[in-house]
Structure 1
Amino acid sequence: MTLLEQLAIQHPLFLAPMAGVSTAKLAAEVSNQGGLGSLGLGAASLASAKQQILETKALTNRPFQVNFFCHQSSLQDTPRNRTWIEHLKPQFEKFGAELPHDLDCIYPSFLDNDDYLNLVLDTQPKAVSFHFGIPHERQIKALKDAGIITMVSATNLAEAREIEAAGIDIIIAQGIEAGGHRGIFNENIDSGIKTADLVKLLAAHCSLPIVAAGGVMNGFQAQYLLNLGAAAVQLGTAFVQCKSSSANAAYRTALLSKPITQITSSISGRPARGIINAWAKSVDLPERVEVAPYPYAYDLGKQLNAAALKQGNSEYGAFWAGSNVIQVRELEATDLMNQLILEMNQYDE
């Protein structure tokens, strides 16, 4: 059975699960055009995640995926957190904001308990994907017993082999060009492999279907990756500008006016690619101290962004975007899907 048959979709195009930006409407629009829509639920509460899934089901009878974070949760490291807070003191002072005393673990992991697992089992989306790691063996078994297709992001061959050994159904090959957080299992080791090279590498050494992710903005690029051995292609940044995403006005403006991205761990505590802004210019300097662990650093990053926004400054926002952001087109999701399919059909090696 091919990947398309397995997922019951018409076109090998996935919407990337963009936490905080994806919406039920956007996911449904992609699914209704024959692709695989997606909900990024890693930052959602249990109640919000359930609501988004049910809303998507009401908008489409086509398959879609849900995505969760699968990181190894870090215990509160008060001295390290405090050092990071003090390091960002000058940034808070710019906006007359008080420094927080403590940082919270704002994003739980799928590994921490079975609340999100039970939600998936109850609502039965077609597929569930994971970022930052692999679910527990018993969680994978429960999903597979329920007939739910499982997918996990890999950034190198070692991770892909772990995914395959764990009994996951599909590998998402996330290249270095991808916007947002790197899916690496250990953020201290990043192979930095380009999407095309990663697809070729995994196609040669793995037996599972591979979904290429990272830097894809048009159908020509998508078809190129399919020809290299990918079974499908995942796009995220290309869809952020759609009206049906929940991106704010500053994010949309940045996508269309700032063509350069950079990977930083300063914002969240894990490496992530986004549009260059004040974090790159004022924080990612040689004297930067050790960043607080994820997601405690993200709590501080969001507080700093909130303080800046009160003063009309959006330069501390996390505007995640892939390396080819300059190629983003102002198209709504339905039109973008149609254009991608057209370009794939027109591809000429």
Structure 2
Amino acid sequence: MDIIAALDLAIPIIQAPMAGVSTPDMAATVSNAGGLGSIAVGATDATGAQAMIAAVRAQTDRPFNVNLFVHSPPRDDIATERAWLDALSPLFAQYGATPPARLDTIYQSFAHDDAMLAMLVATAPHVVSFHFGLPGPDRIAALKAAGCLLLASVTSPAEARAAYAAGIDAIVAQGYEAGGHRGMFDPAAPDDLLGTFALTRLLVADGKQPVIAAGGIMDGAGVRAALDLGAVAAQLGTAFIACPESSADPAYRAALAGPAALHTVMTPALSGRPARCLANRFTAWGEGQTGQVPDYPRAYHAGKALNAAAKARGEGGYGAQWAGQGAPLARPLPAAVLIATIAAEMKEA
């Protein structure tokens, strides 16, 4: 398949669907500028996702991507969760709050969300992508029958082979440099920590599917390098955080523009799964913890509650400030201007 033609990309750039950052406005703007915009709906339900899709379609008639989380159900480990909440209690107390009495599963996996599947089949977005794993054959077949192109994030050749066997149309090679949640299918499995350069070349050499390179790519020179490696497109996430269309809050934007951008951290402390973010008060606390972190997304319930309590007292250093290793190269440009700038840089490169 000529995935670039199928996606109708004038510029081989995909805006990464970073939950908490990407918005319908951003997705529409990127698509209108010739790239592929994305919205992340893993943190909402079918009704919320449908509203987001409608908001993008109100602003563009071009293809865009709808991204879903396909994580395994979390374990209900009372002892681990109680110990985690106890460890967090002093932090909550600093901001005049108490941790939740118990942790909840705040996000439903697409693997078991029948309402989300029905909504996607009915609305038939041009592109649907998966993170943390692959849905079952029945869900893949239903989306394909609806006319959706399917993408999946992978972090290893083994995951890429599984995506190929499942019928995924193109794979997103997520290098260890990438910001946000690491997309490995099983967070408890060994991780070879493959960088974008090596992973992209391994998957291109395998030759089974079109490869989209992701991780550490911030400008036209980076996109051109990814294409030279054999990728058909590059996915950029951190590059769009500083755009005005992003939903990043002022503390997040200030951290991205400061010294923290030089010191990103891969940590499970915020959400229960490894994720790369700017070094902040929460990551510093997490580095000192020796106890087991509750499963995703139950740990995220506590993290979000702590961030809300701290923000209410004027402290923005406990947020999930996702960012990749290329963070110092972020530019506070409108998304359309950023796309045009990257396209010009690609020609220069």
State the TM-score, normalizing by the size of structure 2: 0.97
1:288 lines up with 2:294 in the alignment: no
Which residue number in structure 1 is paired with residue 229 of structure 2? 228
Once residues 113 and 89 of structure 1 are traced to their aligned partners in structure 2, the CA distance between those partners, rounded to angstroms, is 33
Once residues 143 and 271 of structure 1 are traced to their aligned partners in structure 2, the CA distance between those partners, rounded to angstroms, is 28
Which residue number in structure 1 is paired with residue 114 of structure 2? 114
Deviation at 1:203, TM superposition (A): 0.8
Identity of aligned residues (%): 45
Once residues 283 and 148 of structure 1 are traced to their aligned partners in structure 2, the CA distance between those partners, rounded to angstroms, is 39
Amino acid at match of 1:261: T
Deviation at 1:125, TM superposition (A): 1.0
Contact 2:270 2:283 in 1 (8 A): no
Contact 1:161 1:206 in 2 (8 A): no
Contact 2:187 2:273 in 1 (8 A): yes
1:271 lines up with 2:274 in the alignment: yes
Which residue number in structure 1 is paired with residue 21 of structure 2? 21
Deviation at 1:121, TM superposition (A): 1.1
Amino acid at match of 1:304: L
Once residues 122 and 223 of structure 2 are traced to their aligned partners in structure 1, the CA distance between those partners, rounded to angstroms, is 34
Once residues 25 and 75 of structure 2 are traced to their aligned partners in structure 1, the CA distance between those partners, rounded to angstroms, is 36
Once residues 89 and 206 of structure 1 are traced to their aligned partners in structure 2, the CA distance between those partners, rounded to angstroms, is 50
Which residue number in structure 2 is paired with residue 198 of structure 1? 199
Which 5+ residue runs of structure 1 have no aligned equivalent? none
Amino acid at match of 1:211: I
1:315 lines up with 2:317 in the alignment: yes
Deviation at 1:227, TM superposition (A): 0.7
Runs (4+) of structure 1 moved beyond 6 Å? none
Aligned residues: 346
Matches within 5 A, 1:118-129: 118-129=118-129
Amino acid at match of 1:117: L
Once residues 212 and 176 of structure 1 are traced to their aligned partners in structure 2, the CA distance between those partners, rounded to angstroms, is 12
1:58 lines up with 2:62 in the alignment: no
Deviation at 1:120, TM superposition (A): 1.2
Contact 1:160 1:206 in 2 (8 A): no
Deviation at 1:280, TM superposition (A): 2.6
Deviation at 1:20, TM superposition (A): 2.1
Which residue number in structure 1 is paired with residue 31 of structure 2? 31
Deviation at 1:284, TM superposition (A): 1.3
Matches within 5 A, 1:1-349: 1-188=1-188, 189-257=190-258, 258-259=260-261, 260-285=263-288, 287-347=289-349
Deviation at 1:44, TM superposition (A): 1.6
SS at match of 1:273: strand
Deviation at 1:242, TM superposition (A): 0.9
Deviation at 1:196, TM superposition (A): 0.9
Contact 1:177 1:322 in 2 (8 A): yes
SS at match of 1:204: helix
Once residues 285 and 56 of structure 2 are traced to their aligned partners in structure 1, the CA distance between those partners, rounded to angstroms, is 40
Once residues 333 and 48 of structure 2 are traced to their aligned partners in structure 1, the CA distance between those partners, rounded to angstroms, is 27
State the TM-score, normalizing by the size of structure 1: 0.97
Contact 1:32 1:62 in 2 (8 A): yes
Amino acid at match of 1:248: D
SS at match of 1:88: helix
Deviation at 1:313, TM superposition (A): 0.9
Using a 3 Å threshold, how does the CA distance of structure 1 residues 75 and 289 change in structure 2: closer, same or farther?
Answer: closer
Amino acid at match of 1:254: A
Contact 2:32 2:62 in 1 (8 A): yes
Once residues 317 and 39 of structure 2 are traced to their aligned partners in structure 1, the CA distance between those partners, rounded to angstroms, is 26
SS at match of 2:150: strand
Give a deviation string over 1:183-233, Cα, whole Å, max 9, x none. Answer: 001112222111011100111124100010111110101110111010110
Amino acid at match of 1:255: L
Once residues 204 and 163 of structure 2 are traced to their aligned partners in structure 1, the CA distance between those partners, rounded to angstroms, is 14
Once residues 104 and 280 of structure 1 are traced to their aligned partners in structure 2, the CA distance between those partners, rounded to angstroms, is 22
Contact 1:164 1:206 in 2 (8 A): no
Deviation at 1:288, TM superposition (A): 2.2
Which 5+ residue runs of structure 2 have no aligned equivalent? none
Deviation at 1:95, TM superposition (A): 1.7
Q: CA RMSD in A?
A: 1.1
Once residues 140 and 254 of structure 2 are traced to their aligned partners in structure 1, the CA distance between those partners, rounded to angstroms, is 40
Amino acid at match of 1:88: L
Bigger mean CA offset, 50-59 vs 70-79: 70-79
Deviation at 1:8, TM superposition (A): 1.8
